[in-house]
Amino acid sequence: MPEKYSVCVVGLGSMGMGVARSCIKAGLVTYGVDLDSAKCRELVEAGAAGAGAGCEQAGELDALVLLVVNAKQCKAVLFGENGLADRLKPGAVVMVSSTISANDAKEIAGKLEQKKLNVLDAPVSGGAVKANAGDITVMAAGKIEAFDRLAPVLDAVAGKVYNIGEEIGLGSTVKIIHQLLAGVHIAAGAEAMALAARANIPLDVMYDVVTHAAGNSWMFENRMKHVVDGDYSPKSAVDIFVKDLGLVNQTGLALNFPLPLAATAYTMFANASNAGFGKLDDSAVIKTFSGIKLPGQDA
């Protein structure tokens, strides 16, 4: 690793903040970008070299990590007014870690490569806890040079890095398939807990049974605890899964491949968003079931 390796994380949400903190802990010169000034202050207090609504140090960076919500935001950060792509030094590497379509990943990579920049199509998973622990999973595709140049960042933030291949878009496709499972697991967990509520089974008991039996999943154990606690403060919002399951179904359509469970889960999350729960935690998809009383609700 160079004596001074500089990285900027754009998007200081639950994952981005953890990734940036892990970079700081690893001794990287770390900057952050977010429109939320409170998050920027938090990162500076954690030891960042700087954080704000923009990155004035773009020309000094060895790496740029994008953890914004969608492809539109990725493109705005890179190619919009005062975009970072034109200010990065040649050879710097951009790690695109937002969940986006394979086509968007290819479009972004093509524009960056024209500017003599390296690109890694590298979606991530693991949640805020693993991000803070430097233990996320990275599903990456790109040239070996991009992997090599990003090694200090990958070593700092990841417990497991999968090299899916050189073709940009493969990393995004693996993440989209992963999100199919994640979204269906949350939707199925919500349906099961809603049925338990309808049957007047205490939800803490139902949760305990499932998490000690064969029907458990990581998403059930993590998200249905929010339901039991009546706490829908967003760790990952309903609207994120409207977007991600939309990408899943678009991928199925592009491949002429049926995805009946993903389509149903998408409808459940879209209904939850339409009902006004879009900004709540994704476990709030359970709120679309009528005729049940959930923890935390008024009598």
- First CA to last CA across the chain, in angstroms? 59
In 3D, which of 76, 142, 80, 89 has the Cα closest to residue 115? 89
Strand, coil or helix: 48? coil
Phi, psi of 65 (to 5 degrees): -115, 125
What phi, psi does 292 have (nearest 5°)?
-130, 155
Catalytic residue set: 175
Would you state the structure tokens that stand for residue 24, as one six-digit string? 């700081």
Q: Shortest CA distance to 164 belongs to which of 177, 152, 153, 155? A: 177
Cα–Cα distances (Å) from 254 to 11, 86, 123, 142, 250, in that order, read 29, 33, 20, 22, 6
- Please provide the size of the chain in residues: 299
Q: How many degrees, rounded to 5, is the angle at CA 242 between CA 236 and CA 247? A: 110
Residue the block writes with tokens 């417990």 = 159
Q: DSSP letter for 215, please.
A: T
How many other CB atoms sit within 10 Å of the CB of residue 126? 21
